[in-house]
Amino acid sequence: MLFIFLIMILALGAGLLMYMYQLAHSDHIVYHEIPFPNFPESFGEIKIFFISDIHKRVISDSLLEGVRGKVDLVIIGGDLLEKGVPIERVEKNIKKLKDVALTYFVWGNNDYEMNPRLLDGLLLKYGVKILDNTAVSFESEEGDRFVLLGVDDLTKHRDRLDLALQDAEEGFRLLVSHNPNIVAKIKKKDKISLVLSGHTHGGQIRIFGMGPYEKGELKTLEQTMLLVSNGYGTTSLPLRLGAKPEAHLITLRRES
């Protein structure tokens, strides 16, 4: 009887590990339609594909087919890689994303586990724009501006939000930071309407709903709105439980 019980426990354990592995390698796109009262009506809508924390994964073609031709910008929210990821895989992922739309990148803590100059060269090769404490502006025919800011990694103490703000023109402002803790440095006067981030993996493995971090979500704070992604890949173990991988298709528009 004890032997049969042990076999059942082992079978359940093996089944759970298989489920966690399959979940970690699945594809999910989360769709957000976010209206803002200050979004410039002259832009109509801006559609953004946001993906962070790719780590060791190869971005699947089926995931990108779901957004190809439907987005204006691609934003990589850091941790494009980690130590031990073959450079060929990193390059393949960069090329896939760049083929979808104009692409921007912010540094994550794990990105520094590769020679930064090597990664910088790859991004430059494929025309990916790096937002390292800088900002870029897009202007409509009516003269309204959509401003995209990005900060370097906060975990490595390389973030300089002040420099990004100095570089930012007036307009609708969206900030990208790998680490969501950047919100502690944002003030109302900075006029940042939305922050995109990752880093936490949604806790990655949640036992009875509990994990080391909150699950990814979109939430309204006093000084801004924050989207934290569960991320696409995993770190340490190629397993997930209770925090499925995700990428995002975000539609920004004027609040009616």
**pTM for the model:** 0.94
Residue 12: predicted pLDDT: 72
Residue 185: predicted pLDDT: 98
Side-by-side strand order, sheet with 102-105: 29-36, 247-254, 45-51, 73-76, 102-105, 129-130
Residue 1: predicted pLDDT: 62
Residue 2: predicted pLDDT: 60
Q: What angle do CA 32, 20, 49 make, to 5 degrees?
A: 25
CB contact at 8 A, 136 and 147: yes
**Summary count for the chain: helices (H), strands (E):** 5, 12
Residue 24: predicted pLDDT: 97
Residue 36: predicted pLDDT: 98
Residue 15: predicted pLDDT: 78
- Which residues of the chain carry a pLDDT beneath 70? 1-11, 13
- Domain 2-254 grouped into CATH 3.40.50.620: no
